[in-house]
A and B are shown apart, each in its own frame.
Chain A
Amino acid sequence: MSEELLKEMAQSIIDGDSDKSVELAQKAIDLKMHPLEAITKGFVVGVNYIGDQFGKGEAFLPELVMAGEAMKAAVATLDPELRKLGSEREIMGRVVLATVEGDIHEIGKTLVGTMLSASGFEVHDIGVDAPADKIIGKALEVNANIIGMSALLTTTMVRQREVIDELEKEGLRGKFKVIVGGAPITREWYEKIKADGYSEDAIGAVKLAKELLGKG
C-alpha cells in the first residue's frame, strides 16, 4: 500500500503536478506515514529521476522547474507535520537570493532559486531592488550559508560590491559565502569584488553552491 503511494508521489514530481503532490502529501499525513519517509522515499525519488534525465539532456528546464514547484508544494504540506514530530528535513544549505538595489530584472535569479530548491537547498528569495541592509538582514535572520546577488546592468552591479564591503565593515564577511551573477558579470568582476564565486547560468550556480559548502 505504502509502496504504491510512494511511487505515486515520485510520479507527481515527474509530472510536475503540484496539485497531485499536495494531495499525496496530505494523504501521507492522514495515513500516519512519517513525513521524512514520504520525502526521501517518495517525492525525492521523482526529483532525482528528473535531475538525472535533465543531466542526460532528455528532460528540459520547464520540466525541472515544474518538478521543483511540485516538490516545494509537497514539502510545504509536510513541514508542519515534520515540526510536530520534532524532525528536520536535511537540507543542503540556506541561500538568500536577491536582485540588487535599482535593478528589477529577476528571471535569472528566479531560475537559480528554483534549481537550488530542487537540489535540496532552502531558498529565501527576497525579490528585486533589494538594498544592502535588506539582503544582509535576511541572511542574518535565516542564518544563511550563501548570499546570491543578481544584476543585469553595469550600473547596478556595483551594488554587489557594496554589499560585500558592508559585510566586511560589519565583521560579517566570513559568515557567508557570496556568489554573484547576471549578464554583465564576468570572472574579472567577481574576482575584483572578492566574491566567493560566480556562475553564468543556474546549473552552474547549483554546482557552485554545493562546492562552496563542501557538498560538491
Chain B
Amino acid sequence: MSKNIKSISNPKLKLEILTTEEVRKIHDATLWIIENVGVRFPSKRALEIWASNGAIVDYDKKIVRAKPNLIEDALKKCPPKYILAARDPQQDCSLDGNHVYLGTDGCGVEVIDMETGQKRTSKLGDVADISRLADATEEVGFHWVPVSAQDVPVEARGLHEVKTIWENSTKHVQTESIYNADEAKAAIEMAALIAGGRDKLRERPVLSLMQCTAPPLGHDGGSLDAALLAAEVGIPTGFMTMAACLTTGPATLAGNLAVGNAEVIAATAMLQLAHPGTPVFYAAAQTASDLRTGAYTGGGPEDFLFGAATNVLSDFYNIPLSMGAFATGAKEPNWQAGLEGAMSSFMASVVMSDMLLGCGFLHGSRIWSYAEMMMDCEIFSIMHKVMQGIVVDEETLALDAIAAVGPGGHYLAQKHTRKHMKEIFLPEFMDRRPYGEWETKKDDARDWALAKARKRLKEHKPDPLDPKISAEMARIIKSVEK
C-alpha cells in the first residue's frame, strides 16, 4: 500500500473570479464592518486581549470594534506557510500555496452502515473505521473527525475521537470537534505525546484545530478559548465561516463574503495579538439558504462561486485556506451528488485552496456514506488530472508519430502511444461498458465504490500507534472525564 498522499500541485489552469480591486473593496468593507458594526467575542480572555490592544469593547454585549490598522498590523504577523505534520513525515501536508489536499469531511451524526445499508446513529467505532479507510486512500491527505462518537459521554468525546484517529492512521489529524478549554488542554497534551514533547509541537504540529464562527459576526466562547490555547503552543488554528445568504448573511454574495471575512479575520487577528506569529488558516464554507425553507442546502451555484472567491481573499491575507468542497445536499450518491462534488471541488481546486473539506458525506455533511467517500475521491483524482491542463511541446505535439501513421490508420501500435498512454485517466467508477453488459447487471458506481471501500477496510492494516502513547492518552482522557 502506497503511503503517498495525492495532492494537486503546479496547476496549469487558471480562473479569474475577483479582480485586485474587487478584493480590495471586500477587504475595505470588512474593515468598516469590524470598526463600525463590531464582532461578538463571548470569551473573557478574548475581550481582555482586544481591550489591552486598544479595541473598543462592549462588555455587556461582548461586542468588539477595532480600527483597521489594529487588524491589518496583526494579520501581517501570520506565517504564510507551514506544515501539517503526520505521524509518518512522508505524509506531511505542505501548506505553501502550491498544494491542494483533500480531507475527510465532518462532523456527521449518522452513518450508512456498510453491512446493512441502513442509516444509523454514529459511534466511536465508525470514527475508527472511517479513519482507517482514509489511511488507506491516497486521495485523502488528512483527517477531520468524520462523525460524532455519540456512544461516548460528551465531556471528553472530542478527545476519544482524535485518539481513535491517531490509532487508525498515520496521516495528520485536524479536529473540528474540540471547542472548549478543557478538551483543548488535554488534546494538546495528547498531541505532544506524538510530537515528542510540548515544545516540539510548533515544529511538528500533528494536530490542528478548526473552529466554526457564529454568523453573522459572532463567535462561540468555548471555540475562542480552545483556539487561544492551541495558538499558544503553535498548533495551527483556523476559523470557519458558514455565512449563508438570506439567513445569516446578506442576500448578495459580496456582502456575504464581507460578513464571513469579518468573522474570520477578526478572530485571526486576535490570535496574532495574543501569540504573534502563530500558524493560522482561513476557513470557509459559505452558502445560500434555500429560498423556500431557509434550509442549509449543501450546494448550489453560490457555493461554487464562494469556493473559488474565498481563496483570492486568503491569498490577499497570505494565509492557507480550508475550503468547503464536496459535501453534497443529496440524500444518495446520485446526480446531485456528482454535480455538487464536481463543481465545488473544481472551483476550490483551480484557485489552489490548500485544504478541501471534504469527502464522504450526504445530506449536507450529516450522513456518512462509504460509497460516497470513494466516489468523491475519484472526483478529486479527476480534478487532479484536469488541473494538469494541456502540455504543448515537441513531445506532446507528436509530429513524428503523426507522420508515421499518416492519413487513415491508427495510433495504437505507436511507441509514442505506449510511452504516454498511462497519462490517460483510467476511472474506476465511470461506467464505460457496452450497454448490453449494463443491461444484464444493472450495477453502477455506487456498488463498485462500496465494494472497494469494503475490500480496503477488510485488508488495510495501519501502522499502529505506540501502545504506551495510547495508554497515556487514555489516562489523559480519564482525567477529563472525572
Contact surface of A with B, Cβ cutoff 8 Å: 57, 60-62, 102, 104-105, 107-108, 111, 154-155, 158, 183-184, 186, 188-189, 200-203
B246 A62 Cβ-Cβ under 8 A: yes
* 10 new A-B contacts at CB < 8 Å, known A102-B222, A201-B293: A60-B291, A107-B247, A107-B248, A154-B109, A154-B154, A183-B109, A183-B366, A184-B366, A202-B293, A203-B293
A158 to B109, CA, bound (A): 13
Q: B residues bordering A, Cβ < 8 Å?
A: 42, 107, 109-110, 120-121, 148, 150, 154, 157, 177, 214, 218, 220-222, 244, 246-248, 251, 289-296, 364, 366
What residues on A are CB-neighbors of B247 within 8 Å? 107, 111
Shortest C-beta distance, A153 to chain B (Å), equals 8
Residues of A near B246 (CB, < 8 A) are: 61-62
Q: How far is the CA of A187 from the CA of B186 in the complex (A)?
A: 33
Identify 8 residue pairs between A and B in the complex whose beta-carbon atoms are under 8 Å apart, listed by A's number.
Answer: A61-B291, A62-B251, A107-B294, A154-B109, A155-B157, A183-B296, A188-B121, A201-B294
CB-defined contacts of B293 to chain A, threshold 8 Å: 61, 201-203
Are B154 and A155 neighbours in the complex by a CB distance under 8 Å? yes
Given contacts A104-B218, A183-B366, A184-B109, contact A201 B120 (CB under 8 A): no
Q: How far is the CA of A200 from the CA of B218 in the complex (A)?
A: 24
Interface residue SS majority, chain A: helix
CB of A29, distance to nearest CB on chain B (Å): 34
Q: How many Cβ-Cβ contacts under 8 Å join chain A to chain B? A: 58
Given contacts A62-B246, A154-B148, A155-B157, whether A186 and B292 have CB atoms under 8 Å apart is no
Measured between alpha carbons, how far is A22 from B290 in the docked complex, in Å?
Answer: 30
Q: Please, which residues of chain A bring their CB within 8 A of the CB of B121?
A: 186, 188-189
Q: Which residues of B have CB within 8 Å of A111?
A: 247, 294
Asked if residues A105 and B214 are in contact (CB atoms below 8 Å), the reply is yes
A96 to B402, CA, bound (A): 77
Contacts of A189 in B (CB 8 A): 121
Report chain A residues within 8 Å CB of B248: 107
Q: Known interface pairs A62-B246, A111-B247, A155-B154. Does A104 touch B42 (Cβ–Cβ under 8 Å)?
A: yes
The distance in angstroms between the C-alpha atoms of A104 and B42, with both chains bound, is 10
**B292 & A57 in contact (Cβ 8 Å cutoff):** yes
Q: Would you call B294 and A202 a contact (CB within 8 A)? A: yes
| Complex Cα–Cα for A183 and B367 (A) | 11
Closest residue of chain A to B218 (Cβ to Cβ) is A104
Which of chain A's residues have a CB closer than 8 A to the CB of B177?
A: 155
Contact (Cβ within 8 A) B150 A154: yes
Q: How far is the CA of A57 from the CA of B291 in the complex (A)?
A: 9
Q: Closest A-chain residue to B40, C-beta based?
A: A104
Given contacts A61-B246, A107-B248, A155-B154, contact A201 B218 (CB under 8 A): no
Give bound CA distance, A62 to B289, whole Å. Answer: 11
B151 CB, nearest partner CB in chain A, Å: 11
Closest 6 CB pairs of A and B: A154-B148, A155-B154, A60-B291, A184-B109, A201-B293, A111-B294
A158→B42 CA distance, assembly (Å):
22
Given A57, A155, A186, which contacts B110 in the complex, CB threshold below 8 Å? A186
Cα A188 to Cα B157 in complex, Å, equals 20
From B148, B214, B291, B366, contact of A104 by CB (8 A): B214
For the complex, give the distance between the alpha carbons of A87 and B452 in Å.
Answer: 69
**Which residues of the partner chain B approach A155 to less than 8 Å between Cβ atoms?**
148, 154, 157, 177
Inter-chain CA distance A186–B148, complex, in Å, is 13
**Distance from B176 Cβ to chain A, minimum over Cβ atoms (Å):** 11
- Smallest CB gap from A112: residue in B: B294
Give bound CA distance, A137 to B110, whole Å.
33
Q: Specify the chain A residue showing the minimal Cβ separation from B120.
A: A188
Shortest Cβ gap from A148 to chain B (Å): 16
Q: How far apart are A129's CB and chain B's nearest CB, in angstroms?
A: 9
Q: Given A105-B214, A155-B154, A186-B109, are A61 and B366 also a contact pair (CB < 8 Å)?
A: no
Residues of B contacting A188 in the complex (Cβ-Cβ under 8 angstroms): 120-121
| Chain A: minimal CB distance from B446 (Å) | 22
Task: Please give the distance in Å from B53's CB to the nearest CB on chain A.
Answer: 24
Nearest A-chain residue to B246, judged by Cβ = A62
With A104-B218, A111-B247, A188-B121 in contact, is A201–B295 under 8 Å at CB? yes
Q: Are A61 and B294 in contact (CB under 8 A)?
A: yes
User: Inside 8 A of B150's CB, which chain A residues have their CB?
Assistant: 154
| Distance between Cα atoms of A9 and B181 in the complex (Å) | 53
Q: How far is the CA of A61 from the CA of B246 in the complex (A)?
A: 9
In the assembled complex, the Cα of A62 lies from the Cα of B222 at a distance in Å of: 32
Nearest CB in chain A to that of B296: its residue = A183
Closest B residue to A155 by CB, please name it: B154
Q: Which of B247, B289, B364 has the largest count of A CB atoms less than 10 A from its CB?
A: B247
CA of A121 to CA of B221, assembled, Å? 33
A60 touches B107 (CB 8 A): no
Listed residue (A57, A104, A111, A201) with the most chain B CB atoms within 10 angstroms of its CB: A104
A206 CB to closest chain B CB, in angstroms?
Answer: 11
From B108, which residue of chain A is reached at the shortest CB distance?
A184
Closest B residue to A103 using CB positions: B220
A155, B246: Cα distance in complex, Å:
27
